[in-house]
A and B are shown apart, each in its own frame.
Chain A
Amino acid sequence: MSRPPESPGSDCTASGRKLRYTLDPGMGDVSRTCVQIESDLVAAGVPPENAVRMALICAEALNNIVEHAHADREGGWIRVAVRTDTPCQITFRDNGAPITDGILPQGRPAMPGQSTQSLPEGGFGWLLIRSLSSDLDYSHEDGENTLRVTLR
Chain B
Amino acid sequence: MKLTASDSGQARIIHVDAERIDAAVALQFKDMMRDRSAGAPGRILLDLGSVRFIDSSGLGAIVASMKQLDGGQKLELVALSPIVETVFRLTRMDTIFPIHQSVDDGLSQDAA
Give A contacts to B, CB under 8 Å: 27-28, 30-31, 34-35, 38, 49, 52-53, 55-56, 59-60, 63, 109-114, 116-117, 119-125, 127-128, 131-132
Contacts and interface: CB of A to CB of B under 8 A. Distances in A.
Interface stretch (B9-17, B42-50, B56-64, B101-109): B56-64
B25 to A, nearest CB: 8
Contacts of B86: 53, 56
A121 B55 contact: no
Contact of A63 (B53, B55, B61, B95): B55
Interface residues of B, number: 26
A60 B23 CA distance: 9
Interface in B57-112: 57, 59-61, 63-64, 66-67, 82-83, 86-87, 90-93, 95-96
Interface of B: 20, 22-24, 52-53, 55-57, 59-61, 63-64, 66-67, 82-83, 86-87, 90-93, 95-96
B90 A109 contact: yes
Contact of A117 (B24, B67, B87): B67
B40 to A, nearest CB: 16
Specify the main secondary structure of chain A where it touches its partner.
helix
Given A30-B24, A119-B96, A53 B91 contact: no
A1 to B, nearest CB: 29
Contacts of B92: 109-112
A60 B93 CA distance: 17
Given A53-B86, A60-B56, A127 B64 contact: no
B20 A31 contact: yes
Contacts of A127: 56, 90-91
Contact of A60 (B52, B55, B64): B55
A109 B96 CA distance: 11
8 contacts: A28-B24, A38-B53, A49-B83, A56-B87, A59-B23, A59-B53, A117-B67, A119-B66
